[in-house]
């Protein structure tokens, strides 16, 4: 059974892309949008990953494919942004760095007492399986 959507909670967000979902962390501020922290590559700005925080559309975003709630309230968008800014951003352009970075943010939130993290490997498996279920069929073109 799906958990109800909760404004103010912390979610791992998966965005559809070719090989695997792009991953970030989002705290919804309303039913339609939230504050997203993630790393991204914008070749017009930098050839490597850069940290970004922005308002993210939730309702109706065709690329936002997964929201896995990992904390019910308790963490503010300012706290998330503040902690995320201190996590090292990979100095490369290799695919797949966004999820390990998001995990490092979650670990730091845990270390600072803002999140109770029982198993990082368990969370990684859970998110991978959850996000994989929100993909395009391999049987249709």
pLDDT tens, 56-78? 999 888 899 889 999 888 899 99
Confidence class of residue 9 from pLDDT cuts 50, 70 and 90? very high
Structural domain tally of the chain? 1
Model-level pTM? 0.87
- Here the tokens at position 129 are 């399986």
141: in domain:
no
Listed residue (44, 58, 33, 38) closest to 101, CA to CA: 38
Q: Is residue 3 part of a domain?
A: no
Q: What angle do CA 93, 125, 72 make, to 5 degrees?
A: 95
Strand partners, 54: 36
- Is 1 part of a structural domain of the chain? no
What percentage of residues in the chain have a pLDDT greater than 90? 60
In a domain, 136, yes or no: no
Q: Is residue 137 part of a domain?
A: no
Of the listed ranges 5-19, 50-64, 84-98, 111-125, the one predicted with least confidence: 5-19
> Nearest CA to 129 among 18, 21, 19?
21
């Amino acid at each position: 059974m799906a958990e109800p959507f909760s404004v103010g909670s912390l979610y791992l967000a998966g965005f559809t892309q070719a090989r695997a979902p792009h991953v970030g962390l989002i705290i919804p501020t309303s039913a339609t949008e939230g504050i997203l922290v993630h790393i991204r590559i914008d070749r017009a700005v930098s050839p490597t990953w850069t940290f970004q925080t922005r308002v993210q559309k939730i309702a109706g975003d065709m690329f936002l494919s997964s929201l896995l709630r990992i904390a019910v309230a308790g963490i503010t968008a300012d706290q998330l942004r503040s902690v995320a800014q201190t996590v090292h951003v990979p100095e490369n352009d290799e695919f797949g760095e966004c999820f390990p970075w998001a995990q490092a943010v979650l670990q730091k939130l845990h270390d600072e007492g803002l999140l109770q993290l029982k198993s990082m490997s368990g969370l990684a498996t859970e998110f991978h399986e959850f996000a994989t279920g929100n993909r395009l069929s391999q049987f249709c073109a």
